[in-house]
Amino acid sequence: MSDQSEFRQRRKQLLRQIDKSAVAILASAPVRIRNKDVEYPYRQDSDFYYLTGFNEPDALAIFAPAREQGEYVLLCRKFDEKNAVWTGRNVGLDGARAEYGADEAFAIDDLETVLATILENRKRVYYPIGRDRELDQRIMDAVNQVRERTRAGIEAPTEFVAMERLLHERRLIKTPREIELMREAAEVSVAAHKRAMRMCKPGLYEYHIEAELLHEFIRHGMRSPAYPCIVAAGSNACVLHYTENMSELKDGDLLLVDAGAEWQNYAADITRTFPVNGKFSKPQRTIYELVLEAQRAAIEQAQPGKRWNEPHDAAVRVLTEGLVKLGLLEGQVSKLIKDEAYKRFYMHRTGHWLGLDVHDVGDYKVGDEWRTLAPGMTLTVEPGLYMSSRLTEIDARWKGIGIRIEDDVLITEEGNQVLTAGAPKTVLEIEQFMQD
């Protein structure tokens, strides 16, 4: 299926989901200013992209089931000759129809007028209220225009409903095309991690490794990472969202690299932790192998029919048992788990959904129950242990060791597939790879 026919398919499904007396409205992401007149690189809103494939700002998609002139209306920027000179071509109204499958296209400047017409005699509006004040106001202005026509026998909408759920339940199960894109993002991210391992040596700085990661992403056309690269040497690895990336790589330290490319808006998310000098010390190896064992146990639980919490619970059990064996926790394993004693060293959960957003959408609980895993779901499995130097009570040999191992896992009919398996992971694989 071509990408355009897949987007069309998704719109059709949405139109079937909402009833004929309703309208659904979704807006593009705004342009954000970095400083003065410099913009951040544009990134489309994931829900909007999921339905439209349209990558411009200042756009609004309207879905109106059974509308005679067409059910899919796209409002966007008109083609602008002057802008074409300065910032390049925008697709304009003709392009919105011809290239993006809109039944009708209008200028975004006419939003209130166009929307007011479409809202006539519709009862319910699916719209994510509260994301953008200015847009909320424009939508309300359109509704008020319809209200003014009630004396002419026209009805105005009476209900506003959040629509995220409708889309997010679908985004949770990836189509074959989405999986293909995620595989491509994963493949290039694996290559980037290998490149980072190859280039790593004492005396370099964290940003040198970041440069290698970005080089590998960009040379494959993946112009942006899916999130800021974490390149954390030594005890910096104990800062979970460390992105400063300015420290020196010291002989004898570990380096934690958490980095993934974004490809056609789909994310990869990989963490590898390896020795700066290519050889694990004994304490580093001990902790590393414990995290690795926890990750193996968690991945084994990532199966169709298992619940969302099962990989996490498996990781917590392995980690807690290991911490007791090492004397880092004392007491009965089951009680330590119940009391969450492991949180001193492992304070985050074992994963998250992955897709158009790195922390992708979809509920983790359905009612009171953890969600059951099913084929087509993609998630990360990323246990870690963080022996912060601030932990005064632990033995000096552990201090400053921060380790996380993260892979991207697709749930399949038979079990699972690790999309990021190509990045060296065992102690032996890493040491051999870095030596070669």
Residues identified as active-site? 37, 241, 258, 269, 348, 352, 359, 382, 386, 404, 406
Rule CB under 5 A: which of 328-387 touch Mn ion?
A: 380
Q: What 3-state class would DSSP assign to 403?
A: strand
Helix (H) or strand (E) holding 355: none
| 227 binds, options ligand GLY, Mn ion, none, Cβ within 5 to 8 A by partner type | ligand GLY
Taking phi first (over 0 means left), then psi (-120 to 50 degrees means alpha), and beta for anything else, what does residue 361 get?
beta
Rule CB under 5 A: which of 221-280 touch Mn ion?
A: 258, 269
Residue 181's CB: how many other CB atoms inside 10 A? 20
Among 227, 283, 370, 397, binds ligand GLY (CB under 6 A): 227
| 8 binds, options Mn ion, ligand GLY, none, Cβ within 5 to 8 A by partner type | none
Ranges of beta strands (E only) in 81-171 are 104-107, 124-126, 159-161
Q: What is the smallest separation between the CB atom of 10 and ligand GLY, expressed in angstroms? A: 26
Rule CB under 5 A: which of 403-422 touch Mn ion?
A: 406
Rule CB under 6 A: which of 228-267 touch ligand GLY?
A: 258
Amino acid (one-letter) located at 199: M
Among 45, 56, 262, 269, binds ligand GLY (CB under 6 A): 269
Give the per-residue contact string, 351-370, with ligand GLY (x = CB under 6 A; - = no): -x-----x------------
d(CA 388, CA 126): 47
Q: Cα 156 from chain centroid?
A: 37
DSSP letter, residue 433: H
Q: What is the smallest separation between the CB atom of 32 and Mn ion, expressed in angstroms? A: 23
Residue 203's CB: how many other CB atoms inside 10 A? 10
Number of residues that bind ligand GLY (CB under 6 A): 7
Among 178, 382, 407, 408, binds ligand GLY (CB under 6 A): 382
Give the per-residue contact string, 398-417, with ligand GLY (x = CB under 6 A; - = no): --------x-----------
Tokens of 44: 């489309």
Helix (H) or strand (E) holding 239: none
428 Cβ contact list (under 8 Å, min separation 6): none
Reduce the secondary structure of 184-211 to three states and give it as a string.
HHHHHHHHHHHHHHHHCCCCCEHHHHHH
Name the site residues for ligand GLY (rule: CB under 6 A): 227, 258, 269, 352, 358, 382, 406
Name the site residues for Mn ion (rule: CB under 5 A): 258, 269, 380, 406
